[in-house]
A = this chain, B = another copy of it.
Amino acid sequence: MSDLLIRNVRDVSSGAPVLCDVRVKAGRIDAVGPLLTAEVGMAIEDAKGALLLPGLIEGHTHLDKTMWGMDWYVNEVGPELRDRIDNERALRARMAHDAQAQSLRLALEFLSLGATRIRTHVDIDTDAGLKHLHGVLATREKLRGVVEIQIVAFPQSGLLQRRGTADLLDAALREGADVLGGLDPQGIDGDAPASVDALFAVAERHGCPLDIHLHEAGAMGARSLDLILDRTEALGMAGRVAISHGFCLGDVDESTRARLLARMASLRVAVFTTGTPSRPVPPLLACRAASVTMAGGNDGIRDAWTPYGSPDMLERAMLIGLRNNLRRDDEIALAFDTVAAGAASACGFAGYGLGPGARADLVLVHAQNLAHAVVEHPPRALVVSHGRIVARDGVLI
Chain A interfacial positions (CB closer than 8 Å to B)? 71-72, 74-77, 275-279, 302, 305-309, 318-319, 321-325, 327-330, 332, 368-369, 371-372, 375
Contacts and interface: CB of A to CB of B under 8 A. Distances in A.
How many copies of this protein are present in the complex?
2
B76 A329 contact: yes
Contacts of A76: 328-330
Given A307-B375, A308-B327, 11 more contacts: A72-B368, A74-B371, A75-B329, A76-B329, A77-B328, A275-B277, A277-B319, A279-B325, A305-B327, A307-B371, A308-B321
Contact of A322 (B276, B332, B371): B276
B72 A325 contact: no
A306 to B, nearest CB: 5
Contact of A302 (B306, B309, B369, B375): B375
Given A332-B307, A368-B71, A322 B77 contact: no
Contacts of A307: 327, 329, 332, 371-372, 375
A305 B372 CA distance: 15
A72 B372 contact: yes
A327 B75 contact: yes
A328 B77 CA distance: 7
Main secondary structure of the interface of A (DSSP, over half): loop
Contacts of A275: 277
Nearest to A72: B368
A322 B71 contact: no
Nearest to A376: B310
23 contacts: A72-B372, A74-B329, A74-B371, A75-B328, A75-B329, A75-B371, A76-B329, A77-B328, A277-B277, A277-B322, A277-B323, A278-B323, A278-B324, A278-B325, A302-B375, A306-B327, A307-B327, A307-B332, A307-B372, A308-B322, A308-B375, A309-B375, A319-B322
Contacts of A375: 302, 307-309
A365 to B, nearest CB: 14
Contacts of A77: 327-328
B329 A369 contact: no
A371 B277 contact: no
A279 to B, nearest CB: 8
Nearest to A306: B327
B323 A371 contact: no
A262 to B, nearest CB: 24
A277 B321 CA distance: 10
A375 B324 CA distance: 21
Nearest to A367: B72
A94 B277 CA distance: 36
A113 to B, nearest CB: 14
A173 B369 CA distance: 40
Nearest to A377: B310
Nearest to A76: B328
Contacts of A276: 322
A318 B310 CA distance: 12
A73 B277 CA distance: 26
